[in-house]
């Protein structure tokens, strides 16, 4: 049975690259009837923080992606947090020491730093460890390790080569002398490095496929060597195409938002983000881009992954989000948009929640904005005029093009006379009614509506006027027009 994992290090917020890796693992597990596992690789004790673990849980709960086994739900291979598995890693490091496939290294950080500087000054092409402790007698090294600070290093077989087949990239072959020189497996504090913990856990947890970012490709020969050292069968590897900015460089802060929280706080819907990220390096069916998570899982396969890097297009994500906002039911959209409106102070002071009546009005107003909003955080601002008197602009803003202040006032007086009847009609009836009024008054329809729009909403650009008038009601609309007339009629 297929068993895949997402194994993040909780040293930062969840970002787009990590989300894409988790999503593809999740979709592959669901498509193949397998299991999706979460494992926390938290052995970097200087950088791991509980708040990043919580961010991971919050992020994937918001996205609706749930694992079958993990630190929070358990499973047959618990624990799923590496800091709780330390004795296991020491056990397997000792196994490699006993078989002569690893050795103790006593080199200090100072010596390693001096080695690096010497090579730089000599312009040497050599990098990494110089294997100074590789040939110390094993018995002597074991005695020294009882009293001296030491790390455990893997003894790379130097006269061999390592090959593997990647599902996307194909066959790769490496000369072992080009592999990271005898990397550290166990640090002097007894904690494992990524390489040891990762291989031990993938083997013990029965991981069948490793889907990870292409930046890990250069580590794969080392991992294959480790599997051979233990006598274990490695999983299948699938290195996912990189996610790049539009400048062709790896997606980073300089391109804009990269953490999932940033997109969420901007008002991106979780379904829209998942849908877009699912297309970064994969394709499903020709002619369709909108998919639910279940539909993606039903269509996903490793054969649909691309070799070429994927480009993250912020405008394309915006388009996806707009499509999901348009398709949302009014009550669902209102519920998701509400926190943004509350934080923006749409219902009064920032943080003030709406009354029952205000919430009903907010929900009823969703059709006015859903065709025009790209992000949830736009909806409250676009509808603020429904909940409080808008600040009116200077008189010039009421005047239609090539018209006068006096004419604008006349048009508003016409509007004041018809607004109660206009507000009582549906959109189709209101449009036909206003057209008849414009013809009778011998004015352009746009000229008649523009001053009314400014009076009711405080802006020339607003949600649809007829729907706004209906939600505000005839009495409130008439009062706002009267207020605008006072401005226009002042000397």
Report whether 445 contacts 438 (CB < 8 A): yes
Q: Does 263 reside within a domain?
A: no
Q: Are 281 and 306 in contact (CB under 8 A)?
A: yes
Distance CA 416, CA 427 (A): 18
| Domain annotation covers residue 199 | yes
Tell me the CATH number at 148: 3.40.50.620
DSSP string, 105-163: E---HHHHHHHHHHHHHTT-S--S---TTTTS-HHHHHHHHTTS--EEEE---TT-EEE
Predicted local distance difference test score (pLDDT) of residue 251: 83
CA 107 to chain centre: 42
In what helix (H) or strand (E) does residue 37 lie, and over which residues does it extend? Answer: strand 35-38
How many domains are contained in the chain? 2
Q: Which of 191, 219, 240 is the last residue of a domain?
A: 240
Instruction: Quote the CA–CA distance of 468 and 175 in Å, as a whole number.
Output: 71
Quote the domain boundaries for residue 110. 85-240
**Residue 111 resides in a domain:** yes
| pLDDT by 10s per residue, the chain, length 491 | 999 999 999 999 999 999 999 999 999 999 999 999 999 999 887 888 999 999 999 999 999 999 999 999 999 999 999 999 999 999 999 999 999 999 999 999 999 999 999 999 999 988 899 999 999 999 999 999 999 999 999 999 999 999 999 999 999 999 999 999 999 999 999 999 999 999 999 999 999 999 999 999 999 999 999 999 999 999 999 999 999 988 888 887 667 678 999 999 999 999 999 999 999 999 988 778 999 999 999 999 999 999 999 999 999 999 999 999 999 999 999 999 999 999 999 999 999 999 999 999 999 999 999 999 999 999 999 999 999 999 999 999 999 998 999 999 999 999 999 999 999 999 999 999 999 999 999 999 999 999 999 999 999 999 999 999 999 999 999 999 999 999 998 85
- Which residue's structure tokens are 């077989």? 157
pTM of the predicted protein model: 0.92
Q: Rounded distance, CA 421 to CA 301, Å? A: 59
Which one of 225, 240, 255 terminates a domain?
240
Residue 165 is a catalytic residue? no
Q: Which residues contact 445 (CB under 8 A, 6 or more apart)?
A: 434, 435, 438
* 449 domain-assigned: yes
Contact 152, 96 (CB under 8 A): yes
User: Please, is 8 exposed, middle or buried when counting C-beta atoms within 10 Å of its C-beta (0-12, 13-18, 19+)?
Assistant: buried
Token pair belonging to 187: 């640090």
Domain-located, residue 403: yes
Token duo for residue 374:
């790209």
Which CATH number is 442's domain given? 1.10.10.350
Query: What integer pLDDT is reported at residue 491 of this predicted model?
Result: 55
Q: Catalytic: which of 117, 165, 249, 253? A: 253
Question: What are the backbone angles phi and psi of residue 161, rounded to the nearest 5°?
Answer: -125, 160
Contact 208, 139 (CB under 8 A): no
Q: Is residue 339 part of a domain?
A: no
List, in order, residues 6 or more apart from 452 with CB less than 8 Å away: 411, 412, 415, 419, 465, 481
Please state, in angstroms and rounded to a whole number, the distance separating the CA atoms of residues 367 and 348: 22
Q: β-strands 151-154, 184-186: how paired?
A: antiparallel
Domain end, chosen from 240, 260, 289, is at: 240
Q: Which of 137, 130, 159, 168 is nearest to 225 (CA)?
A: 159
pLDDT at 253: 67
Would you say residue 30 lies in a domain? no
C-alpha torsion sign, points 182, 186, 192, 196: positive
Crossing angle of the two packed helices 86-98 and 220-230, in degrees rounded to 10: 70
Residue 443 lies in a domain: yes
């Amino acid at each position: 049975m297929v068993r895949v994992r997402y194994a993040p290090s909780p040293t930062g917020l969840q970002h787009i690259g990590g989300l894409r890796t988790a999503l593809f693992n999740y979709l592959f597990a669901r498509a193949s009837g397998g299991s999706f596992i979460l494992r926390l690789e938290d052995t970097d004790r200087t950088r791991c923080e509980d708040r990043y673990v919580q961010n991971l849980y919050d992020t994937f709960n918001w996205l609706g992606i749930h694992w079958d086994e993990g630190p929070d739900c358990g499973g047959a291979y618990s624990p799923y947090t590496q800091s709780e598995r330390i004795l296991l890693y020491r056990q397997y490091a000792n196994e490699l020491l006993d078989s002569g496939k690893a050795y103790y290294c006593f080199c200090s950080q100072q010596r390693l730093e001096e080695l690096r500087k010497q090579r730089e000054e000599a312009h040497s092409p050599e990098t990494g460890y110089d294997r100074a402790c590789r040939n110390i007698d094993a018995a002597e090294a074991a005695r020294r390790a009882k009293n001296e600070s030491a790390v455990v290093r893997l003894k790379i077989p130097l006269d061999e080569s390592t090959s593997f087949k990647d599902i996307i990239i194909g066959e790769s072959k490496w000369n072992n002398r080009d592999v990271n020189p005898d990397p550290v497996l166990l640090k002097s504090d007894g904690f494992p490095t990524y390489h040891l913990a990762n291989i031990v856990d993938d083997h013990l947890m029965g991981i069948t496929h490793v889907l990870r970012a292409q930046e890990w490709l250069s580590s794969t020969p080392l991992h294959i060597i480790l599997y051979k050292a233990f006598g274990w069968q490695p999983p299948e590897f699938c290195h996912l195409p990189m996610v790049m900015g539009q400048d062709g460089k790896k997606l980073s802060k300089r391109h804009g938002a990269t953490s999932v929280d940033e997109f969420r706080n901007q008002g991106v819907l979780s379904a829209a983000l998942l849908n877009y990220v699912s297309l970064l390096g994969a394709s499903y069916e020709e002619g369709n881009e909108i998919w639910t998570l279940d539909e993606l899982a039903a269509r996903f396969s490793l054969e649909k992954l691309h070799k070429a890097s994927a480009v993250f297009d912020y405008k394309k994500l915006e388009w996806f989000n707009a499509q999901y906002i348009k398709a949302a039911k009014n009550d669902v959209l209102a519920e998701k948009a509400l926190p943004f409106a509350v934080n923006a102070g749409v219902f009064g002071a920032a943080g003030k929640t709406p009354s029952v009546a205000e919430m009903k009005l907010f929900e009823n107003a969703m059709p006015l904005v859903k065709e025009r909003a790209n992000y949830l955080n736009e909806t409250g601002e676009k509808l603020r005029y429904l909940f409080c008197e808008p600040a009116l602009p200077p008189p010039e803003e009421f005047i239609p093009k090539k018209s006068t202040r006096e004419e604008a006032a006349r048009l508003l007086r016409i509007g004041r006379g018809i607004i109660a009847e206009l507000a009582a009609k549906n959109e189709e009836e209101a449009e036909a009614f206003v057209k008849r009024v414009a013809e009778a008054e011998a004015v352009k329809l746009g000229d008649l509506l523009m001053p009314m729009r400014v009076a009711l909403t405080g802006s020339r650009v607003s949600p649809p006027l007829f729907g706004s008038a209906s939600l505000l009601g005839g009495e409130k609309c008439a009062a706002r027009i009267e207020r605008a007339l006072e401005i226009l009629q002042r000397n």
